[in-house]
Structure 1
Amino acid sequence: MTDILIFTHIDYCPPAHLAQVLEEGGHRFAVLRADLGELDGIDLDRPKAVAIMGGPMSVNDPLPWLQTEVAALQHLIRRDIPLIGHCLGGQLLAKALGAEISRMPYTESGWQPLTRLDQSAPSPWLAHLPVQFPMFQWHGDSFAIPEGAQPLLSSPWCANQGFAWGDKVLALQGHPEMTEALVREWLDDWHHLLDETQPSQQSRALMLDELPAKVAELNRVAEGFYRHWLSLAGL
């Protein structure tokens, strides 16, 4: 087993830019499909850093493997190793820390502006970021902030966009891992699930407008998160 594990939950929510960052840095990593039972039998005392990616399911769905993953995350939290969650992954971390995940009355999608909430106690997770910056979104659930966590980010459509718990846990509601190819894949395959007449959802055309520049900026945002995550693990 490698020192870095990435938990995934469906084939179209891969590590994407995170995998590129790790490969370019010469870091070996293993990608596990939690929904296919690949967490069973894993030595959770071995990894030095874990990332948790997204997925279309709800943390509240009655799926046995979700309970297995939450229990695994609780073990990793007790070990105090660096953890970073993306969308569903952030919700799973919130659940593991005892917070509720609830259905929003709408879907938030597209490039949405995030605002930092850490002005009074600046977080090292956000040291590379301005007060406002865009992030790609696609979710209908939202996490509450766990007891003892520091709220970090908000958007106009979702008050809880990110939190830090302790020194080593970062939960994000958005998708910093997106690449151009993945944005196009999602919009080609799943745009029929969106309703661009809703103010919380961007149109497909607007999501794709100036996509290379938007993704390049998002990559810089993501790389700051990933550099800090790796540094905490001593990698």
Structure 2
Amino acid sequence: MSEILILTHADFCPPGHLANVLDRAGHSFDVLRADLGELDGYDLQRPRAVAIMGGPMSVNDDLDWLKAEVAALRQFIERRVPMIGHCLGGQLLARALGAAIRHQPYTELGWQPMRRQESRSPWLAHLPEEFPIYQWHGDTFDLPPGAEHLLSSPWCENQAFSWGGFVLGLQGHPEMTEELVHGWVTGFPQYLDPSQPSQETAEAMLADLPAKVAAMNRVAEGFYSHWLKLAELA
């Protein structure tokens, strides 16, 4: 059993580039499917770093495993375990910290520009004032009490928050790889709606994909580096 725990919720929302970063650094990690009950019986005292990935469900769904996952996240918060949440994972962290999750009247899809809202956070030390992160969501989180607002986009005010210095909640998907972006765009055409200005077209999302993903990989690596440093695993 590893000291790094990654929680996933769907087979098409894997750790992605996070797994590449950990593999390159020689870190072992456990990947558990929370939606399949694999968190049941897990030793919550063991992890020194936790990452929570995305998924198609809503935090507001009345599902026992979602309630169990939020309860586990609250235990990690009490232990001050460094955590980073991606999309659904960011929403789950917000819920665990007492914030509401709201459904938007539109979906935000594609390469959306992030704007920094805070200039001194170590989570953002590697980033310029504006940069893109890939988005695919219809829900969004409110900021938890005591949270620091880090990023916003034109279609989603709350794109990232930090809490207590050791929690990072992200609305977007910096973990995406070329294969994942291509798979989502071509595999889920029913979610693409060109009438929504909050969405990019499929063609725009796939254009110059290697360069876009490589740039976002560098964004993600800065987040993951700080996360591992906080866990004294860097």
- Note whether the superposition's TM-score is higher than 0.5: yes
Task: Tell me which amino acid in the other structure corresponds to 1:185.
Answer: G
In the alignment, which residue of structure 2 is the partner of 1:75? Answer: 75
- Correspondences of 1:100-111 after superposition (within 5 Å): 100-111=100-111
The answer for unaligned runs of 5 or more in structure 2 is none
In the alignment, which residue of structure 2 is the partner of 1:153? Answer: 151
TM-score when normalising by structure 2: 0.99
CA distance in 2, matches of 1:187, 1:233: 34
In the alignment, which residue of structure 1 is the partner of 2:88? Answer: 88
Query: SS of the counterpart of 1:231?
Result: helix
In the alignment, which residue of structure 2 is the partner of 1:56? Answer: 56
CA distance in 1, matches of 2:50, 2:42: 13
Query: SS of the counterpart of 2:188?
Result: helix
CA distance in 2, matches of 1:148, 1:118: 14
CA distance in 1, matches of 2:188, 2:229: 36
Q: Is 1:171 the counterpart of 2:169 in the alignment?
A: yes
CA distance in 2, matches of 1:2, 1:167: 23
Task: Tell me which amino acid in the other structure corresponds to 2:220.
Answer: A
State the percentage of identical aligned residues.
Answer: 67
Task: Tell me which amino acid in the other structure corresponds to 2:84.
Answer: I
- Correspondences of 1:134-153 after superposition (within 5 Å): 134-153=132-151
In the alignment, which residue of structure 2 is the partner of 1:198? Answer: 196
In the alignment, which residue of structure 2 is the partner of 1:42? Answer: 42
CA distance in 2, matches of 1:172, 1:191: 24
CA distance in 1, matches of 2:194, 2:167: 34
Deviations 1:98-152 (A, max 9, x none): 0000000000000000000003xx1000000001000000000000000000000
CA distance in 2, matches of 1:139, 1:59: 12
In the alignment, which residue of structure 1 is the partner of 2:30? Answer: 30
Q: Any runs of at least 4 consecutive aligned residues in structure 1 with deviations exceeding 2 A, and if so which?
A: none
Give the RMSD, CA atoms, in angstroms.
0.5
Deviations 1:11-67 (A, max 9, x none): 000000000000000000010000000010011101100000000000000111000
CA distance in 2, matches of 1:16, 1:221: 14
Task: Tell me which amino acid in the other structure corresponds to 2:39.
Answer: L
In the alignment, which residue of structure 2 is the partner of 1:187? Answer: 185
Question: CA offset at residue 192 of structure 1?
Answer: 2.1
CA distance in 2, matches of 1:172, 1:88: 9
CA distance in 2, matches of 1:166, 1:127: 17
**Count of equivalent residues:** 233
TM-score when normalising by structure 1: 0.98
In the alignment, which residue of structure 2 is the partner of 1:234? Answer: 232
Question: CA offset at residue 81 of structure 1?
Answer: 1.0
CA distance in 2, matches of 1:50, 1:174: 17
The answer for unaligned runs of 5 or more in structure 1 is none
